[in-house]
Amino acid sequence: MMRFDRFTERAQEAAQRAAEIIQRYGHNQIDTEHILLALIEQPEGAISQILQNLNIQGVDLSDRLDYVLKNTQKASIFGNRGAGQVFITPRVKRIVDVANQEANRLKDEFISTEHLFLAILDEKNTPAARLLETEGLTKDRGRTAGDRSQSRKPLQGPGKVLPRFDKISPGREIGSRDWQRFGDPAGDPDPFTQNQK
């Protein structure tokens, strides 16, 4: 069972989405590929931004993950034992542990989707790892693109800057919808203080 008390809201949504994805494929265990697909399917999430920064099409990656998951063995539950339950694989346990280490390394209080993504990029010789390798995605490239997304430096594109994720209150991450609420923080040293007044 995954503990969500240290997950941001977006990371919790990705875990919930992974549980829905296993049902789509008739699986009974959440594996790394399910989590990766859930992260990619968050259209306004940080992972979509990281992929965009790296010029990687999330749709293409999703299609390839779909192929992998369709060819993964279906659940075989004997009798009613375990019916309706969702399990995680040892690989997912390791992913969560590595994501936790990544959050601690960065002195982040909560595990975010970025930490989960970096943990997945840390895997070797798995279907997800091979898929990401074919895209040239490594942990270093993912971290660099994530740093670019989280820094106050302008991103390539419309010239907006993204606020740092560590300035966000516990349990949530910022997405593009927040630009409507916060506006462009380029001129404000800490745009989140305006909501705390």
- Mean pLDDT split into 10-residue runs, the chain, 197 residues: 78 93 92 96 88 89 94 63 74 95 90 94 92 89 71 28 35 39 38 38
Do the strands 29-30 and 87-88 form a parallel or antiparallel pair, or are they unpaired? parallel
Q: Of 118, 91, 113, 90, give the one whose Cα is nearest residue 102.
A: 118
The full 3-state SS of 111-122, as one line of letters, equals ECHHHHHHHHHC
CB neighbourhood size of 71 (10 A): 9
The model scores a pTM over 0.75: no
Q: Average model confidence (pLDDT) for the chain?
A: 74
| Dihedral (Cα; 147, 148, 151, 152), 10-degree rounding | 170
| Phi, psi (degrees; rounded to nearest 5) at 113 | -60, -35
Structural domains in the chain, CATH included, are 9-195 (1.10.1780.10)
- What confidence tens digit (pLDDT) does each residue in 103-161 have? 998 889 999 999 999 999 999 999 999 999 998 888 888 888 776 555 423 222 222 33
